[in-house]
Amino acid sequence: MSALAHRRFLKMHGAGNAIVVLDLRGSAAKVRPEEARAIAQDPGSSFDQLMVLHDPVSPGTDAFMRIYNTDGSEAGACGNGTRCVAYAMLDDPAMARPAEGGRLVLETAAGRVGVRRISERAFTVDMGRPKLAWDEIPLSEPFPDTRRIELQIGPIDEPILHSPAAVNMGNPHAVFFVDRDPASYDLARIGPMLENHPLFPERANISIAQVTEREAITLRVWERGAGLTLACGTAACATVVAASRLRMIGRQAHVRLPGGELFVEWRADDHVLMTGPVALVAEGNLAPELFSGAA
């Protein structure tokens, strides 16, 4: 029997991003890719990202987080999911641990992430510093300026999308800036092609963004390993960084996604802060039969 059988989970939303939080602290259990896929396929526990809590690894941290996409692959960061984890660790009767001042330090494969409570259902996440060099993103070939890289889709003389900005915010991102509503683009068709483009050796999150005001951006995201999503926190952060580097905005913006709004600030110390809401949808237990055919 899977070590995950009967494990309690929380199903949450972070600005529309479907999140499942699973607490494995105090055990040696780990989530295998096929188990993550099985959890995602069940309607009661379906997710955009699965946030799994493990015991702290480094001193000064409250937990180690592993983040899974619906296809079972791991992500380095998930801002919307991190806010949901913070709520669970501070408020959920079964998962809560004492924390001073509503602040947590969580560790991921991409590094440490600080979180602080803003209100009962809102949190600010310190997403760290963006990586902007081509080999840090990473790209498969060198680009001295990643504000706009050579990539397009569609006819050479009239491309549908072209010249995205490339940023790593714990995950690789390519952001295409456009002059019309991002919803007018067939991202469900375009996204998979660009996610798996040879230019992105670790695949990439694909975003279409429109700067509508000096501090307002409308955004749609095809998420690596998850597909079309109502929200993506790392994409919102990457988009604000990219727009700021192109002098389309200052260093902060309200980012409007189909699932809700996030506020992102790229501070002078190079850290990117993202603030947004969380919502508790349901709680449940993982049924043993869920893993009988995990593959």
Q: Tell me if residue 78 is catalytic.
A: yes
Q: Beta strand pairing status for 205-213 and 172-177?
A: parallel
Q: Tell me if residue 237 is catalytic.
A: no
Closest of 258, 279, 291 to residue 40, by C-alpha: 291
Encode burial over 190-206: b for 16+ CB neighbours within 10 A, e otherwise.
bbeebbebebbeeebbb
Contact partners, residue 163, CB within 8 Å, separation at least 6? 148, 149, 150, 151, 152, 176
Q: Which two tokens stand for residue 158?
A: 């009239």
Kindly tell me the burial class for residue 229, based on how many C-beta atoms sit within 10 Å of its own C-beta (0-12, 13-18, 19 or more).
Answer: buried
Supply the DSSP string of 51-62, one letter for each residue.
Answer: EEEE---STT-S
> Which residue among the candidates 78, 240, 241, 243 is catalytic per the annotation?
78
Rg, the chain, Cα only: 19
Encode burial over 28-42: b for 16+ CB neighbours within 10 A, e otherwise.
eeebeeebbbbbbee
> Which residue among the candidates 232, 249, 257, 286 is catalytic per the annotation?
232
- What is the C-alpha separation between 150 and 166, in angstroms, rounded? 10
- What is the C-alpha separation between 48 and 221, in angstroms, rounded? 12
Active site residues: 78, 232
